[in-house]
Chains A and B, each alone.
Chain A
Amino acid sequence: MPDPIRMRIKLTDGIADVRVLIGHPMETGLRKDAKTGELVPMHFIETVSATLNGKVVLEAQWSRAIARNPYLQFRVRGAKVNDEIGIAWIDNHGETSSAKANVPPSS
């Protein structure tokens, strides 16, 4: 079971600012295990997609060079209170995870 996805959304003048934190090791395949001295196999997110009310607004393709526990921030125009922002990813092992959150009112 992959680690959860955390999202923080802030609505300002019709633009939703979305900050996402994804729990993932993003192993490069170059790191040695401290105990065994063996190389830890590559394990990284390859594709991330973000949606607004089910419609794709951002597609990201990643390499091993995205930092561990990836941070992603993006902005979507035309968002309204209660609109649904979705995030989904798939990694090089075929594992996937997704999360959804609603746009909160401006504070």
Chain B
Amino acid sequence: MSWITCINTEPREAMNNLRRSLLKAATVGVSATVAYGVLAPLKALAALWPATAFEAKTIEEALKAAGVIDPVTSEAIAIKAPEIAENGAQVPVEVTSQLPGTRSIYIFVDKNPQPLAGTFEFRGGAEPFVSTRIKMGETSILRVVVQSDGKFYVATREVKVTIGGCGE
């Protein structure tokens, strides 16, 4: 069963979960407005999950599907990641952008079966910084794209992987 089928066949469960969360929030005396404030945009966002970009199988296709057009190499994007990752199932990646007006950060792993690992979009107040851990199937280029003022910028670095983490 593909993940698309999963999403399409289970909206009822999602709604029930949401209802349960709201109910729970109300009963324990936490403002339901707050829970709504967190979960309602989440529902809207989930519908926007960029399936085509995430399922693309080559870096070229993934970049195209993510809407990345003519990215310019930039030294204002700092990528912190290990040179050698012994465990491909847990590779720490930290990205800081010094590009003014940074709107989002995209993390790609060129040689993963699906190169796009994640996207991070910043709204009012969030610093153009993110740190997370990703899975890498093998030694690969880590490609970070930053969208700033409607333009795209890119930085890369290689991470050598001793034991791949895609089966994890």
Q: A-side interface residues toward B, CB under 8 Å?
A: 15, 28, 30-32, 41-42, 46-47, 49-52, 54-68, 70-79, 84, 86-90, 92-96, 98, 100
Q: In the assembly, what is the distance between CA of A69 and CA of B97, in Å?
A: 25
Q: Is the interface of B mostly helix, strand, loop or mixed?
A: mixed
Say which residue of B49, B112, B121 sits within 8 Å of A46 (CB atoms): B49
The residue that B13 contacts in the complex, of A49, A66, A89, A94, with Cβ under 8 A, is A94
Q: 8 closest pairs, A vs B, by CB?
A: A94-B14, A54-B37, A73-B131, A67-B133, A75-B127, A65-B117, A88-B38, A57-B126
Given A32-B167, A59-B45, CB of A77 within 8 Å of CB of B125: yes
The reply to whether the CB of B155 lies closer than 8 angstroms to some CB of chain A is no
A72 touches B3 (CB 8 A): no
**B48 cross-chain contacts in A, Cβ below 8 A:** 61
- Give the residues from 65 to 80 in chain B that come closer than 8 angstroms, CB to CB, to chain A: none
- The answer to whether B122 and A46 have CB atoms under 8 Å apart is no
Chain B residues near A90 (CB-CB < 8 A): 14, 42-43, 45-46
